[in-house]
């Protein structure tokens, strides 16, 4: 039987078991609660929902399952396997411990590096008979397999960010060189059901599925995968939480998610390639374990540098006001106004600030015409005959001055991390406001 079919069948059989179904329900509930806060913030900022909590949660769960299946098949074809589940348990435990040092350290690049270095040190002591390490045998992990797993997970993460990273983005503002610029903050999570392979002599893993080893398998060869005729593959499933947290003032939502996703996937490909090159001795494996977090930090710092030094995308000019975001199914959306457009005139009245927009539409009839300059600099006129002044326009503009605290998420910090941390604080405030409104 094809290994892809075997892997997907094992994943499907395990995902419908009561324990895993309960886990999915818990994850969906947590995601929904988080998405309610995001949707509430979007409504508070723009006046109406950009994305509903249900839509945000449904896309998360659906894409998580698809991505988990894809990742499981890739891992199976490559032959990424472990002798037992101690490596995975330790990986998760170290991630939880590192989380207290900072949110970004929950990434498997860091926990995998820590576990890899510990494993190499223990193997070095054991091989050279410096000390009796029998009691620490469970810490002897196949570093090549571990880093291959981390690499594949980052490739999958990159794809998720490319396709879904822009969902739930929150409009934000900051001041740079005495000018207000607009942007977007991203905070998105996925829970991947991953089927991992274990090499055993019998079916001693609960809920596992035994299969014959394919003749061409494995594509990745280490000492672990040089197995005898009695050895079989056993499947077991785990959930891995993947997160994307970023901010941009220089790109559109779609462009930022695309470039970030490509960067993450490229990191995963490079790490996977290095795992096949640096595998022949303990020194090379130590270098591999160290390179994983170093490259990850380099990627993050490059992203931060490009944002700080890049040209702001959403900034007002002397000719008009910049459109930061447009709510779907709003009047602005029906008119054809898009994020990144520069609004120049409304009914022949020149627009220089968001206050001018409010004044011009206060006594407007149902007929309205606008002059717009799009992101390519092309001028166009929009005519709309169904305008309702009693409804919100459904667009948010970059202000001339910093908006009020209760209307937007604003940033006056220079640190990239401070900007992201401020989103968390604002989300907590909106959750409190939401509860107060229900009282």
Higher-scoring residue by pLDDT: 405, 6: 6
Q: What angle do CA 118, 123, 129 make, to 5 degrees?
A: 130
Residue 233 confidence (pLDDT)? 72
Q: How confident is the model at residue 225 (pLDDT cuts 50, 70, 90)?
A: low
Residue with tokens 């948010």: 396
Give the whole-number percent of the chain exceeding pLDDT 90. 38
Q: Which of 235, 215, 194, 245 is nearest to 71 (CA)?
A: 194
Instruction: Report the 10 Å Cβ neighbour count for 278.
Output: 19
Q: Is the pLDDT of residue 205 over 50?
A: no
Higher-scoring residue by pLDDT: 412, 144: 144
Q: How confident is the model at residue 415 (pLDDT cuts 50, 70, 90)?
A: very low
Show contacts of 32-39: CB within 8 Å, 24+ apart. 32/57, 34/189, 35/60, 35/168, 36/434, 37/427, 37/430, 37/431, 37/434, 38/168, 38/170, 38/187, 38/427
Show contacts of 286-289: CB within 8 Å, 24+ apart. 286/116, 286/117, 286/120, 288/116, 288/143, 288/144, 288/147, 289/112, 289/113, 289/116, 289/117, 289/120, 289/143, 289/147
Q: How confident is the model at residue 101 (pLDDT cuts 50, 70, 90)?
A: confident
Contact 423, 409 (CB under 8 A): yes
Residue 432 confidence (pLDDT)? 57
The mean-pLDDT minimum among 252-261, 299-308, 359-368 falls in 359-368
Contact 158, 244 (CB under 8 A): no
Q: If phi over 0 gives left and psi between -120 and 50 gives alpha, with beta otherwise, what is residue 59?
A: alpha
**What are the φ/ψ torsions at residue 389 (nearest 5 degrees)?**
-70, -15
Q: How far is CA 405 from the centre of its chain?
A: 27
Q: Is the pLDDT of residue 379 over 50?
A: yes
Residue 383: DSSP 8-state: E
Instruction: Report the 10 Å Cβ neighbour count for 85.
Output: 13
Q: Is the pLDDT of residue 15 over 70?
A: yes
Give the whole-number percent of the chain exceeding pLDDT 70. 84
Residue 213 confidence (pLDDT)? 57
Q: Is the pLDDT of residue 384 over 50?
A: yes
Higher-scoring residue by pLDDT: 301, 83: 301
The mean-pLDDT minimum among 73-87, 356-370, 408-422 falls in 408-422
Q: Which of 237, 243, 241, 240 is nearest to 19 (CA)?
A: 237
Residues near 322 by Cβ (< 8 Å), separated by ≥ 6? 182, 314, 315, 316, 340, 341, 342, 343, 397, 398
How far apart, in whole angstroms, are the C-alpha atoms of residue 269 and residue 28? Answer: 30
Q: CATH number of 317-397: 2.160.10.10, 3.40.1280.10, 1.10.3720.10, 2.30.42.10? A: 2.30.42.10
Higher-scoring residue by pLDDT: 55, 362: 55
For 149-165, what is each residue's pLDDT tens digit?
999 999 999 999 999 99
Higher-scoring residue by pLDDT: 390, 76: 76
Residue with tokens 């797993």: 149
Which pair of tokens denotes residue 107?
């990434």
Residue 385: DSSP 8-state: S
Q: How confident is the model at residue 426 (pLDDT cuts 50, 70, 90)?
A: low
The mean-pLDDT minimum among 215-224, 232-241, 260-269 falls in 215-224
How far apart, in whole angstroms, are the C-alpha atoms of residue 136 and residue 121? Answer: 11
The mean-pLDDT minimum among 179-188, 237-246, 269-278, 395-404 falls in 395-404
The mean-pLDDT minimum among 167-171, 211-215, 227-231, 250-254 falls in 227-231
Q: Is the pLDDT of residue 286 over 80?
A: yes
Q: If phi over 0 gives left and psi between -120 and 50 gives alpha, with beta otherwise, what is residue 193?
A: beta
Q: What mean pLDDT do residues 64-70 have?
A: 94
Domain with CATH 2.30.42.10 in the chain: 317-397
For 122-145, what is each residue's pLDDT tens digit?
988 888 888 777 777 778 888 999
Residue 212 confidence (pLDDT)? 54
Residue with tokens 């810490």: 139
Q: In the Cβ-directed half-sphere of 339, how many Cα atoms lie within 13 Å?
A: 21
Residue 2 confidence (pLDDT)? 72
Q: What mean pLDDT do residues 23-49 have?
A: 87
- Give yes or no for a cis peptide into 218 (omega within 30° of 0): yes
Q: Is the pLDDT of residue 341 over 50?
A: yes
Contact 418, 411 (CB under 8 A): yes
Cross-strand pairs, 180: 175
**What are the φ/ψ torsions at residue 268 (nearest 5 degrees)?**
-60, -40
Instruction: Report the 10 Å Cβ neighbour count for 128.
Output: 9
Q: How confident is the model at residue 258 (pLDDT cuts 50, 70, 90)?
A: very high
């Amino acid at each position: 039987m094809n290994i892809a079919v075997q892997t997907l069948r094992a994943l499907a059989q395990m995902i419908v078991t009561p324990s895993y179904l309960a886990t999915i329900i818990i994850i969906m509930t947590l995601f929904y609660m988080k998405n309610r806060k995001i949707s509430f913030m979007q409504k508070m900022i723009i006046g109406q929902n950009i994305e509903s909590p249900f839509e945000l949660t449904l896309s998360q769960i659906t894409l998580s399952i698809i991505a988990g299946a894809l990742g499981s098949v890739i891992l199976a074809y490559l032959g990424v396997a472990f002798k037992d589940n101690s490596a995975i348990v330790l990986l998760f435990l170290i991630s939880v411990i590192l989380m207290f040092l900072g949110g970004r350290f929950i990434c498997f690049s860091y926990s995998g590096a820590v576990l890899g270095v510990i494993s190499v040190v223990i193997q070095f002591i054991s091989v050279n008979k410096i000390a009796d390490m029998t009691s620490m045998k469970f810490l002897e992990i196949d570093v090549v397999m571990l880093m291959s797993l981390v690499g594949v997970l980052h490739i999958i993460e990159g794809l998720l960010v490319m396709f879904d990273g822009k969902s739930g983005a929150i409009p934000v503002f900051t001041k740079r060189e005495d000018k207000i610029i607009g942007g977007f903050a991203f905070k998105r999570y996925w829970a991947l059901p991953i089927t991992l392979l274990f090499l055993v002599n019998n079916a001693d893993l609960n809920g596992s599925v035994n299969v014959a080893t394919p003749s061409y398998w494995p594509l990745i060869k280490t000492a672990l995968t040089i197995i005898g005729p009695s050895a079989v593959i056993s499947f077991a499933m785990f959930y891995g939480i993947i997160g994307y947290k970023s901010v941009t003032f220089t790109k559109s939502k779609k462009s930022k998610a695309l470039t970030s996703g490509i960067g993450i996937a490229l990191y995963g490909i490079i790490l996977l390639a290095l795992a096949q090159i640096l595998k022949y001795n303990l020194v090379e494996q130590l270098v591999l374990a160290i390179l994983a977090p170093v490259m990850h930090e380099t990627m993050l710092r490059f992203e931060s540098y490009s944002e700080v030094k890049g040209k702001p995308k959403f900034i007002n000019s002397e000719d008009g006001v910049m459109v930061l975001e447009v709510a779907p199914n709003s009047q602005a959306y029906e008119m054809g106004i898009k994020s990144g457009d520069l609004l120049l005139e409304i009914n022949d009245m020149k627009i220089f600030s968001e206050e001018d927009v409010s004044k011009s539409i206060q006594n407007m009839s149902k007929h309205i015409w606008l002059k717009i300059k799009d992101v390519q600099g092309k001028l166009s006129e929009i005519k709309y005959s169904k305008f309702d002044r009693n409804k919100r326009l459904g667009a948010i503009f970059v202000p001339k001055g910093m908006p009020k605290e209760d209307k937007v998420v604003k940033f006056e910090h220079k640190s990239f991390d401070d900007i992201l941390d401020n989103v968390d604080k604002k989300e907590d405030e909106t959750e409190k406001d939401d509860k107060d409104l229900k009282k």
